[in-house]
């Protein structure tokens, strides 16, 4: 389950920001995990909640947006919606697609509390 290591990386990123910016606690963490990122969102949330006690994420509300996948279809020369990697183009049925969106995992926003 790579979501546990991703959660550890997110926690480290947030704790580094807390030291650098001088905040004590995160009230809300907003993430983006695209549908094509290969991340099980429920597992990521579970891992973050399991790691949170005793850290600046303790009792933080964790919101995870899941933007849809998009790809550039070479034969159609257009952007198409893509539910998962390996799917065919919904217009031409071909598989010459380059993902262009929904592949990211990133921290979008932190709502923090100063001491």
What confidence tens digit (pLDDT) does each residue in 4-21 have? 999 999 999 999 999 999
Alpha-carbon torsion angle 71, 75, 78, 81, nearest 10:
-40
What confidence tens digit (pLDDT) does each residue in 58-78 have? 999 999 999 999 999 999 999
Contact between 36 and 100 (Cβ < 8 Å):
no
Cα–Cα distances in angstroms (integers) from residue 85 to residues 25, 29, 36, 55, 80, in the given order: 37, 27, 6, 35, 12
From CA 3, how far away is CA 26, in angstroms rounded?
Answer: 20
Q: Which fold has domain 3-113?
A: hypothetical protein PF0899 fold (3.30.2320)
Q: Where are the domains of the chain?
A: 3-113
Contact between 102 and 68 (Cβ < 8 Å):
yes
- On whether the pTM is more than 0.85, the answer is yes
């Amino acid at each position: 389950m790579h979501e546990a290591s991703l959660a550890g990386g997110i926690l480290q990123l947030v704790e580094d920001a807390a030291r650098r910016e001088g905040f004590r606690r995160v009230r809300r963490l907003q993430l983006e995990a695209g549908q094509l990122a290969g991340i099980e969102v429920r597992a990521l949330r579970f891992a973050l909640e399991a790691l949170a006690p005793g850290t600046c994420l303790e009792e933080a509300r964790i919101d995870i947006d899941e933007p849809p996948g998009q790809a550039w279809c070479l034969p159609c020369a257009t952007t198409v919606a893509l539910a998962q990697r390996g799917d065919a183009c919904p217009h031409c049925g071909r598989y010459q697609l380059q993902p262009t969106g929904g592949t990211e995992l990133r921290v979008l926003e932190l709502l923090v509390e100063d001491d």
